[in-house]
Amino acid sequence: MNVFTYKNGFFLTILLFSIECFGQNKDFQVSKLTNSSEVSLLTVGRSDEEIYQNFGHTAIRIKDSILGWDLVYNYGTFSDDDGFVGKFVKGKLLYYESIDNYPDFEQMYRDENRSINEQKLDLSQEQKQLLFERLTVNAREENKYYKYDFLFDNCSTRPRNILLSLFKTKNFKPDIDDNSSYRELIDRNVTNEWLDFGMDLLIGVPTDAKAKYGRTFLPIELMQLCDSAIVDGKKLVKSNELILDTIPENQPKKWFSPTMFFWILFVVLLIIQVRTGFFSTNKITQVVYFTILGLFGWLFIFMWFFTEHLTTKWNLNILWAMPLNIPIIYFMLKKEIPNWAHGYVKFYRILLIILVIGWYINPQTYHNAVMPLILICILFTSTLLRVPNSVDFKKRMFK
């Protein structure tokens, strides 16, 4: 194993050195693959350890036993230096293509206890060479970087595009997931319900569109699509083999979901108000609650207008987590509340009621935990408004 690793490491070093040295030479010729070469699509299973591991991974393997190469072309490489978090939030994070030895690639995912499926592809020698050249040229320093987009330009869509570009005709078997929305596909892969809740809050209407072919932003969906693909009149995949399995682990059952938490919170607040009328005389709780929602509203505005993410635009969560809660809600603490502040609260309550009534016709799918949050909003807006008495009704009737 050590001799094999060193041998591959030597050839990989030569390959990378050639790419670097001749990177500026547009006429540089990539080495010729032999007839023993094989091309495979590698699909790495998902994991719950890190957020970026929740959705799996895709890479392309090119193996040539005569040349002694066993290389993995990986579009999922990124650096956690130089302001990673800030760039990711703003949608300006750069990913890049790297070239690894397959043994090192496999060992990394073995350590992470993640599976690897290998689909051996039925390509002509000419197609293998063309793919090898494109992948190698794309790994040059001036070509390898790209601006990562979670749905439309990632470690799965890049291999998909470069692989399928080899063929003139492409036909895919219809799949049940073609009718799933991007949001549904994301939800299915995020098993941590609190993380799923947070992601649902940040992504907007674009993710509620039917994914169709775009479902292949997920590696497992790309694997399934390739299994059914007929390209230039023949099957793309010769075989699909699980070459690295996972070791079963005991996962603790998580029952305390955000939906359960917020429903319990709503019921408790409602009981307190019905039995004691506490929130009608004490407005601090409402102000704190609406301040938190206002902060979320401004976060949604930031992600919509001041980042380059496509998925966070048109986020209709701002209809209940209103940015205008800050600073307007603070006027409700005054002894003499301005009429316009009362008008805002009335409008806000009407909007919230409409959201509840139109829950299933909203163009954006809200997380289930949002419903009790909206009901808490309705409860608190009602306590901020004075309840009309008989004198008020007489004034309205005889005015």
In this prediction, residue 389 carries a pLDDT of 47
Residue 149's alpha-carbon distances to 77, 159, 209, in angstroms, are 13, 14, 17
Tokens, residue 158: 């890049």
Stretch (H or E) spanning 164 = helix 157-164
Burial of 120 (0-12, 13-18, 19+ CB in 10 A): middle
Q: 96: closest CA among 130, 146, 26?
A: 146
N- to C-terminal Cα separation, the chain:
94
Confidence at residue 50, expressed as pLDDT on a 0 to 100 scale:
80
Structure tokens at 193: 């319900």
Task: List, for the chain, all residue ranges whose pLDDT scores fall below the cut of 70.
Answer: 1-28, 80-88, 250-253, 386-399
CA–CA distance, 308 with 327 (Å, rounded to integer):
27
Q: Phi and psi at residue 44, in whole multiples of 5°?
A: -95, 135
Residues in the chain, how many?
Answer: 399
Distance of CA 384 to the CA centre of its chain: 38
**Which among 184, 135, 164, 157 has a CA at the least distance from the CA of 226?**
164
Domains of the chain, residue spans: 2-244, 261-398
Q: Are 119 and 243 in contact (CB under 8 A)?
A: no
Q: What is the pLDDT of residue 82?
A: 61
Give buried/exposed letters for 200-231 (b at 16+ CB in 10 A, else e): bbbbbbbbbeebeebbbbbbbbbbbbbbebeb
Following DSSP, what letter does each residue of 339-352 receive, concatenated? Answer: HHHHHHHHHHHHHH
Cβ distance 359 to 366 under 8 Å? yes
* Structure tokens given for 39: 């091309």
> CA-CA distance, 328 to 291, in Å (whole number)?
10
- Looking at residue 137, its pLDDT comes to 94
Predicted local distance difference test score (pLDDT) of residue 28: 55
Quick one: pLDDT at residue 338? 83
CA nearest to 376, candidates 349, 341, 346: 349
Q: CB–CB of 216/208 below 8 Å?
A: no
Tokens of 216: 């292949």
Angle at 318 between CA 307 and CA 311, to 5 degrees: 40
